[in-house]
Amino acid sequence: MSEPQNSTFRPRIFSGIQPSGGLTLGNYLGALKRFAALQGGEAETIYCVVDLHAITVWQEPEQLRMRIREAAAAFMAAGVDPAKSVLFNQSQVSAHAEMAWLFNTVARVGWMYRMTQFKDKAGKNSENASLGLLAYPALMAADILTYQATAVPVGEDQKQHLELTRDIAAKFNHDYKVDHFPITQPLIEGVATRVMSLRDGSKKMSKSDPSDASRINLTDDADAIAQKIRKARTDADPLPGSADGLKDRPEARNLVNIYAALSDETVDQVLARFEGQGFGAFKPALAEVAVASMAPITKAMSDYMADPAEIDRVLADGADRAEAIARPILDRTKDIMGLLRTR
């Protein structure tokens, strides 16, 4: 069998976000901001609110519906333009769930047990986790490969899932002696691929952290943002002149990375301005940049949320467009596997 040639696939970017709770600055810098920047290039861009992934852990139905719309609003507020990208929610395009089943027969159980996200989310009582939580990465591979996506922008924490997606594509191509799925490239780029907690520089900023002070939420107002930055954990040393000097200072490095990502500068450019200054000077400057970048997004999100029918209309149109790409690829996959298509 020859090596799969990704050049035979048209460039296509896919990524997704779970609607399982308020989104954070980590989601914005690690994902949404980059999704917007990737539009209008050579590759078609397809973005998805992955609601089927969210229900792998319990969600209150009424709250989930609201959060799906809120995630869609966040995409648009961050600059994802439904005229330039396909934007939809996963459960409306049944090809995802169908492809996930096909991949459940390709992926091995052992691959799933090795996933760190499963271990983290299942906790000690993994026998009691939903079967969907274990199979989660097969559905994620289905999201990506149902569009034959060639590149997937994500934060660092999704790297292992993307490796598994590549393993599924390679095993499928190998077992069925085809070059049907691309070996997708992860796009984990920039200074904000792992935004850390404001309270603990060794932990990822996360919507599931019990401390609200650990994160900036996309719904926080200017006062809350400024206060959280003021209270962020730091050290007592002045800022160094270059990135090297931040190596063993996780909290300091995190704040400088956030500044650089928000202001579209390199870490060295930021440090060149703040070299020798302490956090007494740096934190107010960071708060100012953060408020200036986030306030328009928070405002746009609440404007979109004021018109849920319009969000639903955008998502429905996106689902139609997604379906038109996904369906023929799913049908071809079934053909390759020997499933009988009668219509």
User: Which spans of this chain sit near ligand TYM (rule: CB under 6 A)?
Assistant: 14-18, 26-27, 30-31, 50, 53, 140, 143-144, 152, 154-155, 157-158, 161, 192-195, 204-205
Candidate list 84, 121, 159, 334, residue with the active-site label: 121
Nearer to ligand TYM, 112 or 238 (CB): 112
The least distance separating ligand TYM from the CB of residue 135, rounded to whole angstroms, comes to: 12
Tell me if residue 203 falls in helix, strand or coil: coil
Contact 255, 228 (CB under 8 A): no
Gap between the Cα atoms of 19 and 31, Å rounded: 14
Nearer to ligand TYM, 22 or 278 (CB): 22
The least distance separating ligand TYM from the CB of residue 242, rounded to whole angstroms, comes to: 23
Nearer to ligand TYM, 17 or 73 (CB): 17
The least distance separating ligand TYM from the CB of residue 51, rounded to whole angstroms, comes to: 10
The least distance separating ligand TYM from the CB of residue 144, rounded to whole angstroms, comes to: 5
Helix ranges (DSSP H) in the chain: 25-27, 33-37, 51-54, 61-77, 95-104, 109-113, 116-122, 131-145, 159-175, 222-231, 250-263, 267-274, 279-305, 308-337
Candidate list 203, 207, 283, 334, residue with the active-site label: 207
Gap between the Cα atoms of 31 and 204, Å rounded: 14
Does the annotation mark 121 as catalytic?
yes
Does the annotation mark 228 as catalytic?
no
Contact 149, 164 (CB under 8 A): no
13 - beta bridge partners? 45, 151
Does the annotation mark 231 as catalytic?
no
Nearer to ligand TYM, 20 or 173 (CB): 20
Which residues are known catalytic residues?
121, 204, 207
